[in-house]
Amino acid sequence: SSSMSSAALTERQAFLILNALPNIGPVTLNRLLTALGGDPRTVLATERRRLESVRGVGPVIASTLAEWRAHFDLAREEQRLAATGADFIVGKDPVYPKLLREIHDPPIGLYRLGTHDFAAPGIAIVGSRRTTLYGQATARRFAGELARLGFCVVSGLARGIDTAAHEGALEAGGRTAAVLGCGADIIYPPENLGLLRRITEGGAVLSEFPFGRRADRQSFAMRNRIVSGMCQATIVIESDVDGGAMITARFAGEQGRMLFAVPGRIDQPTSAGCHQLIRDGATLMTGVDDLLNELSYLDGFRPAPVSAKPAEVAAGRPSNLKPDEERVLACLGGGAILAPDAVGAQSGLGPAEVSAALMMLEIRRLVVKRTDGRYEAALG
């Protein structure tokens, strides 16, 4: 209620209030929390002079915090949370995306529709709203392959590449997460309402903005830092030189994340941004293997399906392999070193099945791809 004192608030309610107050950015909020012991209720209860001693906090922010009831209706926000079935997750919650905590300006809280827990590593796929059929097909294919491998495909629910990426992950029966540049109660673009509902069934829709907040240039840029920040890698598929995906790419670089760009036609404006990124040092990406090869250098980076341990590998019986994977692994027993077509000939599987099985086995560290393109079993 509006008469509620700061002391009577729960910690989560106080986080909800701080997150929604106008003109206080995440960097300042995190500084305040650090300076005042981490409890958001303390921030709301602290006298102005002490607040103003925190770097970046002036009289305007101090008075906004002191008079938070004039800026935010907590009871109404809680009713909307209940009505939309959303929850509000904060940095210390186990379901808060782990990598997002590491960025320079993490959101202090996120509205979440759906119950996905972000335990699986995320890969962002972003690109232009004005897109070609080639771009859409590529986004759909990459998202499907990554989702099947256990990655969570993250994008921004916009028209074009974002929509194709979400749909590709869903068609593969995988997980996808959408990060909105507006409040979680605003469906933008409106034609993606059905897609948003499908995403929440197995994945999640996230927003750092309070209900009712409309999208604008600033909110989209803030959204983009979350998309890249919660993911191990960002893939740009089609972008003009000044497209929104280029902002996401810049954030990925600043956050120390891997950045991949898909080449396109030289006469297509929607490829110009990707070509610029490649020229500036992004990894050229022509298939999911390019990403897996880069990730293989990151020890311990494994999607959710992984549970085989070195001891199980040494015993020769990795757990929960699919039949195709069992057959492919059997071909590589006894120190055999085989090219994919030789594996296919021995196992009786088609090229697509062999490729998918090898990819899964490689991710699970059960086989190793050699520089000559042949495969061998990993040592236990």
pLDDT-derived band at 113 (thresholds 50, 70, 90) equals very high
- Strand partners of residue 337: 376
Distance (Å, whole) CA 105 – CA 256: 14
The predicted-structure confidence for 168-181, as pLDDT tens digits, reads as follows 999 999 999 999 99
pLDDT-derived band at 306 (thresholds 50, 70, 90) equals very low
The pLDDT assigned to 362 comes to 81
The predicted-structure confidence for 319-347, as pLDDT tens digits, reads as follows 678 888 889 999 988 888 999 999 999 99
pTM across the whole model: 0.78
Closest among 247, 220, 221 to 236, alpha carbons compared: 247
| Tokens coding 301 | 């980076």
The set of long-range contacts for 313-317, using a CB threshold of 8 Å and a minimum separation of 24, is 313/365, 313/366, 313/378, 313/380, 314/380, 315/380, 316/380
Collapse the DSSP code of 264 into the 3-class scheme (helix H, G, I; strand E, B; otherwise coil) and give the result.
coil
The predicted-structure confidence for 21-56, as pLDDT tens digits, reads as follows 998 999 999 999 999 999 999 999 999 999 999 999
DSSP letters along 96-154, please? S-GGGGGSSS--SEEEEES-----SPEEEEEE-SS--HHHHHHHHHHHHHHHHTTPEEE
Distance (Å, whole) CA 305 – CA 72: 42
Tell me whether residue 274 is exposed, middle or buried, using C-beta atoms within 10 angstroms of its C-beta: 0 to 12, 13 to 18, 19 or more.
buried
